[in-house]
Structure 1
């Protein structure tokens, strides 16, 4: 019981000393923060741009972010199941995704270029 009282007294004394130190400091307002540059928000695209076209009898939806095509949704006619083509890499490789499981994409890191 005596140890608990000693700890409480120590914590109270520490709190009072720190409050006294804060009260003695002269606080100054911070300088005003400049707004972000105008082109900062224009670089961020929150939603993809979707272009819907007809290729033969199929309906193709192209999804782009910042003008780069990254996914296509192909819907065949007469209620057939739709499938997706996802861009695998920058060299134009595409992976087909047509089910509830994610497509298997193999990492393709460039280690050396000659």
Structure 2
């Protein structure tokens, strides 16, 4: 019975401390003005895409997947019939596709602004 009473007292004390902190956290008349709502997000215009364009080409021994954003080729995935897939990727945007042995894909990169 004494343990139960101790638990009840400690829970009550924690509740009082939490409530007293909440009362002081929101002072009245803080002088803050309400923030305006952000403007609505404009819709997509025709011709704009959010996802890369993927062109898949099949041959007898390989499957080629070409990835493009805004019509610019940035990666090619080659899937041979016998073997592991490998990639050619334009890492620096110069139009030349690079490859590396034991290559790990880079972090996704999105175009945020273009003009």
**Structure 2 length as normaliser, TM-score?**
0.47
Answer 1 or 2: which has greater strand percent: 1
